Structure formats: structure tokens, C-alpha cells
A and B are shown apart, each in its own frame.
Chain A
Amino acid sequence: MDLRLPIGIIFTLYGLILIGYGLITKGSKIYEKSLGINVNISWGILLLVFGLVMYYFAKRAKKS
């Protein structure tokens, strides 16, 4: 098993969930805690990128 595959998938999922939840709760007062920053969106993007990169490398390794 190429471990990059499950790691890629789980963090892609987490990225999408956080971005989605961040969009739904945009402007909500839950972000008073995080100093007014919608951290769900920004951190979600980072997780999504990480997940996709892992996924890409797992797929590329499988091809070759």
C-alpha cells in the first residue's frame, strides 16, 4: 500500500469540509475566537493543497 494515497484522500476531504463549513459560517461570531479570521477557509485551503499533492504523488508512483 502506498501510504500517500490514504493521507492524500483524508486531507483532501478535510480541506473540502473546512472550506465548505467556513463558507457557510462566513461572518459568524464563532470567528471572534480566531481574531476575526475565518481560519476554516484559510486552513482548509492549506489542507486541500497538501492532500492533493500527496494524492498526485501516489498516483504518479503507481503509473510508473
Chain B
Amino acid sequence: MLNSFVIPLIASVSGSGGGSMGTGLKFDLELVDWVILAIYLVFVIGIGFALKRQSKTAEDFLLSGRSIPGWITGLAFISANLGAQELIGMAASGAEYGIMTSHFYWVGAIPAMVFLGIFMMPMYYGSKAKSVPEYLKMRYDERTRVFNSVSFAFMTIFSSGISMHALADLLTTLIGWNYYGWLVVTSVIVLAYVLKGGLSSAIYNEVLQFFMIVFGIAPLAYLALKNVGGWDGLVTKLQASPLGDGSIHSWAQTATGDNPMGVPWYGIIFGLGFVLSFGYWTTNFAEVQRALAANSMGAARRTPIVGAIPKMLFPAIVILPGMIAYALTMDGPGSGYSIPVKLDANGLAMLDSTGRAVMNYNQVLPSMILNYFPNGLLGLALTALMASFMSGMAANVTAFNTVWTYDLYSQMTGGKKTDQQLLNMGKVATIAGIILAMGCALIAAKYNNIMAILQLVFGFVNAPLFATFLLGMFTKRSNNAGAFWGLLIGTSTAVAFHGLSWVTGNAPGVKGAWISQVFEYPKDLSQSFMVAIVAFSVTFIINAGLSFASGRNKTDEELAGLVYSLTPQQRSGQEAWIMRPSVLGTIVMIAAIALNIIFW
């Protein structure tokens, strides 16, 4: 979801909404592949049924009763984000931008996850808030909570819809059968295991899905790297390609925006790293919820840090195959692989302004799998793709039902509902959420443009939220008026700024400048980062300004456990020193810095 605004997945794999044909991207499945897929489906639903005893109360169903070990919530934490965008989108970006794509991990995700674990989790977990909006209610007031719950509920439904659409579309392209058939089948499977075992089932399955994804996709990096002549062969071929040197250095070319991403170093650090990634990883409830389900404060704080360890290595299995795909394509027909090109309505290759065929980067991953994987392994990879979509979808659904039940329904009805009533509402919300998401998927299939605009707008929701949390968690002064007006005006500014900014060569419309062409940027990414920076800054300034002007409205006692300086640092005597969040977090950060230097 983090990069959903960066990679317009709505244009999806087939590039043609619902019906998808004529790409030649078809997996010829044998019985063995179907058996592998079927076993996975049996286990996913089986885990849901095995956990049904743990969903007898609303607390269990929606929050897992704070009972899950840290290693499980840690892997679920990254699995929840391993939706369509992660695998397909990151391989696509690897082909388009080269190694600079690693900034999404080593500058973006990792520092944000470590920060969340060390500095923010004591307040999130310690306050006993059931959700991110509920924390906002404790720290500020009801209106900020409502603003956040409504926008979040809307966003999660929409994101699962996009995910479902992309999955159904992908399966139709790869296997055939029927778009609507896939839509219903995949939704029913997710519904079955979430409804049966609640959040625990979603989280346990996310861990299974995590291993599925890694084991299903990892052989691709090995085979492709062998084919391209190892790392040295890849570097030689990329240097000779149009992307050139920029594609094999993550920082060396970033003094200016003259690099594959079109973003200078400060845009990467502030836009992608500080604003977008911190915003996404630290305030998105679908992520934070995983940590809140952990069985102790230590486990909750370790959740994102434990997740950061495999996350750090993901570029090797998703970005690397993308880079190799690009290198092989540019190496000419003799290399045996080329990235599929986009076709126009007449089935002819679309050409860009320089006469070069436009590559369909979203097809990089599936076409590479098809190119290298024999039957058997092919079934495993297909299952991995399906697992990745399901984990993202289930994460959104379980976050939605909690926010709906506790932050919207329970509040609207005066907070006087029994646990049984809340449990029933949680289940109804699960079913309704999936049905609404299917509706969004159908809209996405029909009206690409509307959804693309919404998707871009949602990409900026977390930036103002992050500014609000930063002030709320780390200063005592930030007050209710500042939080609410900061969020509202900051979010509106993001939308307006998007309407005023455009990318060189893009027509006004979905991708920006739908108000007027005022601010021009060289690439989609530089525009996205700039919108996020503006949204963050406006929110920060308004929140800080109003708070200083009107003074505090909560006493130190009321803010105890909600603000960092008023939260006692508790240390459990039982953990080994290496398991302390600060120690583990520091080790992870050193490793991330080392990776940045190695691929400088």
C-alpha cells in the first residue's frame, strides 16, 4: 500500500481493466501445480477453523486478546504489507529505476519500523488503545478520531478492492477462466478464514503467507542471476543500457534529480523516507494492529524490529529480478527474455516520444516467472502470488472491522454495547467490508481513472497523520484544535497541491494538474514526494502554530502514557539483552546503513 500511489497498479497487470487477453502471459499448469495451490488453500482455511475457539468474544475476534508471540506478529507485520504492490510493483520498479528502488526499503521502511518499535510503541501499546483512531481520541479528542476513522475505513476498503481487482485480473491473465469467478473465489476464501478465526487467524495466516511468498519467489533471483552472468554480468549489461550507471548506484547519482528516479537526495530522505515511509509504517492501523496483538510490551516493541530483519533482504528477491529483466531486455533478443510491451487498442506496441516501445513493467514479475520456472516450481510461485494478495487483503479487512466496530459503531451508539453485540457487529463488518471491497474492485475494473485519482489521493493520507502523531507523541503542547485543523487543512492541501502539480510530458488529469498546471516535476516519483512533503509541512505548521497560540488543554496527568516524556520506560528483567528493542533496533539500523554504503 505504501507505494500504491507510486506505481499505478490500477492499470494492473493486463493493462486492460477486467478482461485481459492477448498478452501471451499464460501459465501452462499441470496437475502438480494445482495440487500445490489446493494444499495451500486447505491450510489457509484450516488455520481459520483451528483458531475458531479464539474468536468467542469481540476482544478475541478483533484484537486477538493481546496473546500472540513476538516473532509471529513481527512476520505478520511485514506480510500485511506484502500485497500486490510489493511483489509486482517492486519488481516493476527494479526494472524501471534499478537499484534506487532499494530506497523504499533501506531509507524508507527499515528506519520507520525501528522508530515505531523503539519510540512509538510504548505509547501505542501502553495506552491500551484498541486502534490508531482510539489513540488519537485519548491524546486529542473525538473529532480527530472520527476524521481518522472515516478516512481510514474508506481507504482500507478501497485498498482491498484494488488488491482484489489486481489479483482477479492477474489470475485471469495467467490461468484463464473468469475475472468475476476469481473475484468471488478469492474473496470467499479470505472471508472464510477471517470470519472463522478473526484477527488471530489473519495474523497466523500472514506468517504462513510470508514463508509461501519467500519460498515461491526466491528461486527466481537465483536462476535469473545465473542467466545474466552473475552480479558482474548484470552490472556490465546495465551500464551498457539506457539507464546506465544510475541503475547500479543507490546514492552516487543523487546530487541532482538527474537519475532514474528523477529525485535528488533530499527528496529521497525527506519525501520518501521521513514523510511517506514513516507516515505509512507508523500510523497505518493495518500495520500497527499486528503489534497491538502481541502478548507483551516487549513483544509489541520488537514486532516491527523483528519484521525489519527479513524486510531488509527483500530487495534481493523482488528488486533484483526486476533489474535483471531490464538488463536482459536491453541486451537484445539473444538474451532470451524481454519485458512485455504495452499494446494499444489494435494490438500494436505503444511507442513513446522517442519511438521506443513502452514497456509494461507490471508484467515483469509474472513474465520472469514464466520464463524460468518449470511446472512444480511454477505452482509454488503462483501460490506465492495468491498468498501475497490474500495477506494484504485480510490485513485491510481485519483493520477495517476493528475501526468500524470500536471507533465508529460503538461510539455512535454511545459506547453501551455488550461484548456479544460488538462481536456480532465485528462479524457483520467483516462480511460487509469484503462485499464493499468487491464493489470497489468492480469500479476499478470499469472506471480506471476515478480509482486512479482516489489511489493517488490516499497515498498522501498518511503524511498529515504522521505530522499529527509526531507532535502528539513527542510534545505535550500539541492540542486538540491544532490536531484537528492541522489534519484537515494538511490533507486538503495535499489534494489541492496534487491538482496543481504535474509531471513533464503528462497530460493534465489523473496524474495531477487537474486544477491547473503550476508546479512541474521531472518524474512521477518526484511529484509524489513533493506532495507528501507539502502535506506534512502544512499539517505540522498548523498544528504547532495553533497549539502555541491557544495553549495546552490536557494536563500532565491526562497525558501520562500518551506522550513520550510522560511515559515511564519499563524494562522487563527477563529478556536477554540482545532482545531489548533498543539493542535489536540499533543492530538493524547498522545493517541498513551498511547496505546503503555497499550499494552506494
> Taking beta carbons and an 8 Å cutoff, which residues of A are in contact with B?
1, 3, 6-7, 9-11, 13-14, 17-18, 21-22, 25, 28, 30-31, 33-35, 37, 39-40, 43-44, 46-47, 50
Contact = CB atoms under 8 A, between A and B. Distances in A.
B215 A47 contact: yes
Nearest to B68: A3
A53 to B, nearest CB: 12
B208 A35 contact: no
Given A10-B39, A10-B40, A40-B377, A34 B372 contact: yes
A7 B374 contact: no
B375 A21 contact: yes
B204 A3 contact: yes
A14 B380 contact: yes
Contacts of A9: 43
Contacts of B39: 10, 13-14
Contact of B43 (A10, A22, A25, A31): A10
Nearest to A41: B376
B35 interface: yes
B223 A35 contact: yes
Interface residues of B, number: 28
Nearest to A29: B374
Contacts, number: 78
Nearest to A30: B374
A30 B375 contact: yes
B46 A6 contact: yes
Task: State the majority secondary structure of interface residues on B.
Answer: helix
B36 interface: yes
B208 A34 contact: no
Top 6 nearest A-B pairs (CB, nearest first) are A30-B374, A40-B376, A21-B376, A21-B32, A10-B43, A18-B376
B335 to A, nearest CB: 13
Given A1-B50, A50-B215, 5 more contacts: A10-B208, A18-B377, A25-B374, A33-B371, A50-B211
Task: State the majority secondary structure of interface residues on A.
Answer: helix
B372 A7 contact: no
Contacts of B375: 21, 25, 30
B72 interface: yes
B376 A22 contact: yes
Contact of A11 (B47, B72, B215, B226): B215
A6 B35 CA distance: 17
A28 B372 CA distance: 14
Contacts of A18: 376-377, 380
13 contacts: A1-B50, A6-B46, A6-B50, A11-B215, A18-B380, A25-B374, A33-B374, A34-B377, A39-B219, A39-B377, A43-B219, A50-B211, A50-B215
Contacts of B47: 1, 6
B40 A37 contact: no
B52 to A, nearest CB: 11
Interface string B346-372: 000000000000000000000000011
B227 interface: yes
A47 to B, nearest CB: 6
B519 interface: no
Contacts of B50: 1, 6
Contacts of B211: 7, 11, 50
Contacts of A46: 215
Interface string B25-57: 000000010011001100100110011000000
Nearest to B383: A14
Contacts of A30: 374-375
Contacts of B107: none
Nearest to B32: A21
A10 to B, nearest CB: 5
B308 interface: no
Contacts of A47: 215
A42 B18 CA distance: 38
Contact of B35 (A11, A17, A37): A17
B372 A33 contact: yes
B13 interface: no
Contact of B223 (A7, A22, A34, A44): A34
B207 interface: yes
A21 B32 CA distance: 7
B384 to A, nearest CB: 11
A33 B219 CA distance: 13
B208 A7 contact: yes
A31 B380 CA distance: 16
Contacts of A13: 39
Of B36, B50, B204, B374, chain A has the most CB atoms within 10 Å of the CB of B374
B204 A39 contact: no
A33 B267 CA distance: 41
B40 A34 contact: no
A7 B371 contact: no
Contacts of A10: 39-40, 43, 208
Given A1-B50, A34-B223, A39-B377, A14 B36 contact: yes
A17 B373 contact: no
Of A9, A21, A35, A47, chain B has the most CB atoms within 10 Å of the CB of A21
A1 B208 CA distance: 13
